Structure 1
Amino acid sequence: MGKTRSLATGLAAAALAVASAVTATPANAAACNGYVGLTFDDGPSGNTQALLTALRQNGLRATMFNQGNNAAANPGLVRAQAQAGMWIGNHSYTHPHLTQQSQAQVDSEISRTQQAIANGGGGTPRLFRPPYGETNATVQSVAAKYGLRQIIWDVDSQDWNGASTDAIVAAHARLTNGQVILMHDWPANTRAAIPRIAQTLASRNLCAGMISPQTGRAVAPG
């Protein structure tokens, strides 16, 4: 009898815990007074798995702008990005200065990356970030041909330039609703900043959102 009562009590507690977990999601969603786009360029690489772990542990989703050659060399990591709930964008195949290339070369850079990401299980990208943020009419025309929305950034974390963890966190404090920040897949300081980035955004009721292919702005995940 005592065991039966204990079992019933345990089941009731478990059910309450599940209900609490379920009802917590809308409450968290309601706390989002705006959305920002976290973006990571140049992957996937040997650092990608640790970055994905840090993002997931801190409840963050991001857009990973992958290089095609890296995606082709690491299809398992492309799949891991998708399985971790990240969005995957096109960052060219070899990271060249596209504005110095012919239309045929630009087409090759973009089309091969689309294929490499799809082959890795990352779906067909709808977002494109030109290397170095360099673009012109030719680059935009080729991107549009493949149904890609060009995404630059509003805030540069400077992680590619040796920015400290403190500086990377401070860059996120400047983000406002709808804005996009530039980060990279490879810097150790960026990965170390992830927990504090999550805290900084939460303190301002901002959530990590998806980047809309229609507007190029960060919006609620859909």
Structure 2
Amino acid sequence: MSTVPRRSFPHRGKRWAVVTTALACTVPLTLTAAAAAPEQAAACNGYVGLTFDDGPSGSTSALLSTLRQNGLRATMFNQGQYAAANPSLVRAQVAAGMWVANHSYTHPHMTRLTQAQIDSEISRTQQAVAGSGGGTPKLFRPPYGETNATVRSVATRYGLTEILWNVDSQDWNGAGADAIVQAAARLTNGQIILMHDWSANARAAIPRIAQGLTARGLCAGMISPQTGRAVAPG
């Protein structure tokens, strides 16, 4: 993938505490539109990667419902601290047909950390996600897209492929739903778009993103750990 300029995203406000089981249960445990039927798969002329950072949160259940209603699957780059606090939501992500990945434990600027600190951020998140029922992540996205050789080497040690993005939705920067839809319209086969779990505007854009992809013969795919590109779901 092409190298992405470093960004300093504004930190979010106070995060949600442990989300109740009742909230997590708003996401059914059965797959519907998220699991593409053979005839749908045959209509795909290419695949793109929809990604959502910073979950799980109080917005996760609504996000999963919207994705499922529109027949989309996505990769959820979870923070370890939130996965550990909300294991039921990690399980809900998997039950809804999403792929769960590593986005560090506390969302620090990784390139400012020592190798031991980088190791802790990555390893603790691997453990938190796996312990919450999300499986062992194969993909890692460094916070803010900030990376270097040390970050990459530690990620590799844990069997992780570093994933950045090709298109930035700018949802973190206050982009409205219209602008997010327009950003998604720039995606081409194999490319990845950055969005965030907590963004109401990104969630509002999902129905039109789905329509736009269908109109262009593109489908939401998984991100290959081998190539770092979006491919047909395995």
5+ long unaligned stretches in structure 1? 1-23
> Which segments of structure 1 move beyond 6 Å, counting only runs of 4 or more?
none
Q: How much has 1:221 moved relative to structure 2?
A: 0.2
Higher gyration radius (CA): 1
Deviations 1:12-56 (A, max 9, x none): xxxxxxxxxxxx932211110000000000000000000000000
1:133 aligns with 2:145: yes
Q: Secondary structure at the match of 2:203?
A: helix
Q: Matches of 1:128 and 1:187 in 2, distance apart?
A: 21
Aligned to 1:100: 112
1:166 aligns with 2:188: no
Match of residue 215, structure 1, among 227, 231, 234: 227
Shift of 1:146: 0.2
Deviation at 1:96, TM superposition (A): 0.2
Partner residue of 2:12? none
1:35 matches 2:47: yes
Once residues 27 and 221 of structure 1 are traced to their aligned partners in structure 2, the CA distance between those partners, rounded to angstroms, is 14
TM-aligned CA deviation for residue 103 of structure 1: 0.2
Distance 1:186 1:111 in 2: 24
Could you state the TM-score of these two structures normalised by the residue count of structure 2? 0.84
Structure 1 residue matching 2:108: 3-state secondary structure: coil
Name which of structure 1's ranges 26-35 and 181-190 shifts more when overlaid on structure 2.
26-35
Query: The residue matched to 1:183 in structure 2 has which SS?
Result: strand
- TM-score, length basis structure 1: 0.89
- What is the aligned partner in structure 2 of residue 189 from structure 1? 201
RMSD after superposition: 0.8
Unmatched 5+ stretches in structure 2: 1-35
2:133 is paired with a residue of what secondary structure?
coil
Alignment pair present for 1:146 and 2:158: yes
- Corresponding residue SS for 2:209: helix
Aligned residue in 2 for 1:20? none
Partner deviation per Cα, 1:125-144 (whole Å, 9 max, x = no partner): 00000000000010000000
Q: 2:190 aligns with which of 166, 171, 178?
A: 178
